[in-house]
Structure 1
Amino acid sequence: MGTNLIQSLQEIRDFRAAQGRRYPLWLILLLVIMGTISGCRSYYALEDFGARHYGAVSEQLGLTVTRLPSDTTFRRILQKLDFQALAQQFGQWVNSTFDTEPGEWVAMDGKSIRGTVTEPGTAYQNFVNMVSVYRHNQGIVLASQQFESKHNSELKVVQTMLEALQLEEVVFTLDALHCQKKY
């Protein structure tokens, strides 16, 4: 078994200046992951999650802070965070923690992210997409990757992810988009 999630998150480079850091980056990212799993969909919801679970989180992690991050702290961190680094580190942790079983069903699907469209209604339209690999048996996302529609396609991203994951003896489910002869 590999590292635990906290050790994995500690390997992500902290981009902030040393002065004024109140919380370690790994703690903020851990709260984002736990809050998201619990249904938090906004910065304020993440702050509320931290306030409600302060006692248990502080006790389990041995924290010395008097409170957990505010919504503005979450916003500032997530706006500047290298999402690819987080996704890669999280994916490595998932792969080292959960074994894939032969015959397991794995879904791959791409979705465009609402609110990311630039130049709508033109031939130059661009938007951010997210491709995720989901393991049905354990109900976890094995990997995810974002891309811009102008710079890449779902077909190529899925092919790259399949090569990187190196999964064997599993059943993949994909959209009809991926049933093309030339790919």
Structure 2
Amino acid sequence: MNGLSLLDHISVIQDPRQAWKVEHTLSDIIFLTIAAVIAGAEGWEDIQDFGEDNLEWLQKYGDFDNGVPVHDTIARVMNLISAKQLQKSFAAWMKDCHEATGGDVVAIDGKTIRGTYDKNKRSGAIHMVSAFSAENQVVLGQVKTAEKSNEITAIPELLKLLELRGCLVSIDAMGCQKDIAQQIVDKSADYLLAVKGNQKKLEEAMGKVFNSSMLNSYEGDKYSIQEKGHGRTETRLALVSHNPSELGDIEFDWPELKTLGVVVSVRQEGNKPAETMTIRHYISSAELSAQELLEKSRAHWSIEVQMHWRLDVGMNEDSCRIQREQAGENLAVFRHIALNLLTEEKTFKAGIKRKQKKANRSNAYLSQVLAGQGAS
């Protein structure tokens, strides 16, 4: 950690309230929210309850001269805070405390907070597009988009927030766009993009480069692994070519294109014949070996297991129904902050839910969690 603390970064967020009406400082409300979410709070009333139970401890970090704000005040302030300012502060904090090394996979993917869908108002659920460091298992930044189809416009906004020099940015097929690839290269990083039907000509050309008949006879760089467990056997095979001219003129549509690849997954249940085979095509500006393609493409899915799963199972995010304007978006960012801090705390070997319960029981442990990555 070098640079400013999380609270230093967040202190630049403007307080939108009229000064003469303020009874609780913005920094106090933000710190209360972060600490409460770390300790398992899932909504505004939980945050108020946590504050009232731990007021003496909170006063070691902030003023809290007028005690703890009520839940209506917390909700109103969280709704007034600029989501864009909060996202920028979060990303700046992560730049300070997370140093990427050459080849780190930064996985970008979207997640819908299902509980925020309002059937009566017919309003869409909150959808957050996040960047996740596969190596360090921390969230690097996030932006909100109303619907999954808008990830194409959200990803460039997210990329602007991130320090990506030397990283390999992996994105599923939705992000396989020429402008996005160029933006990644312009940030001195490499891209690894999955290819599907949204780039029809590219998908067809990749299918000709890697046709099914060559899976067993390919003479170029290839690598395979086999894993067994729970009565299943899964075989994964990667093939790569470093001759992008095989795509014809399409080669010139993609900046710094160096690697074409395919990853084939075959799953077999017990002694039964294999029934499912998944084929994924990839393009990359990095010169990847077949083994690297297999490993890096698998690392992309860490965002599902290490981030999305822990948010849902550990923090119960999908049950959150808070949607009002910026409030739901901002609370999602605070959950990401809490997830990063709980992940960084290594002395207690446990899952996110157990760590939250320990933080709720022990002010000493909560202080220890907050000390990680320069939060306090």
TM-score, length basis structure 2: 0.42
Q: Give secondary structure in 1 for the equivalent of 2:110.
A: strand
Structure 1: any 5+ residue segments left out of the alignment? none
Q: Take 1:18 and 1:70, find their aligned partners in 2: how far apart are those partners? A: 18
Q: Does 1:154 align with 2:151?
A: yes
- Superposed displacement of residue 37, structure 1: 3.1
* Equivalent in the alignment of 2:206: none
Q: Does 1:13 align with 2:17?
A: no
Q: How does 1:15-164 map to 2 (within 5 A)?
A: 15-61=16-62, 63=63, 65-114=65-114, 115-116=116-117, 120=122, 126-149=124-147, 153-164=150-161
Q: Take 2:34 and 2:75, find their aligned partners in 1: how far apart are those partners? A: 14
In the alignment of these two chains, the number of paired residues is 177
Structure 1 residues 80-126: Cα deviation after superposition (integer angstroms, max 9, x where no partner): 22212111112112212221222333221112333346875xxxx85
More strand by share: 2
Change in 2 beyond 3 A, CA 1:21/1:99: same
**Larger radius of gyration between Structure 1 and Structure 2:** 2
CA contact (8 A) 1:131 1:144 kept: yes
Aligned residue type for 1:137:
E
Q: Take 1:50 and 1:78, find their aligned partners in 2: how far apart are those partners? A: 16
- Superposed displacement of residue 15, structure 1: 0.5
Structure 2: any 5+ residue segments left out of the alignment? 176-193, 203-253, 255-376
* Equivalent in the alignment of 2:162: 165
Q: Take 1:142 and 1:86, find their aligned partners in 2: how far apart are those partners? A: 13
CA contact (8 A) 1:117 1:128 kept: no
CA contact (8 A) 1:9 1:30 kept: no
Q: Take 1:46 and 1:69, find their aligned partners in 2: how far apart are those partners? A: 9
Structure 1 residues 53-86: Cα deviation after superposition (integer angstroms, max 9, x where no partner): 322221244x252522221111111122221211
Structure 1 residues 123-168: Cα deviation after superposition (integer angstroms, max 9, x where no partner): xx85542101122333322111012239x72123223423542413
Q: Take 1:32 and 1:159, find their aligned partners in 2: how far apart are those partners? A: 29
Change in 2 beyond 3 A, CA 1:104/1:75: same
CA RMSD of aligned residues (A): 2.7
Q: Take 1:64 and 1:34, find their aligned partners in 2: how far apart are those partners? A: 14
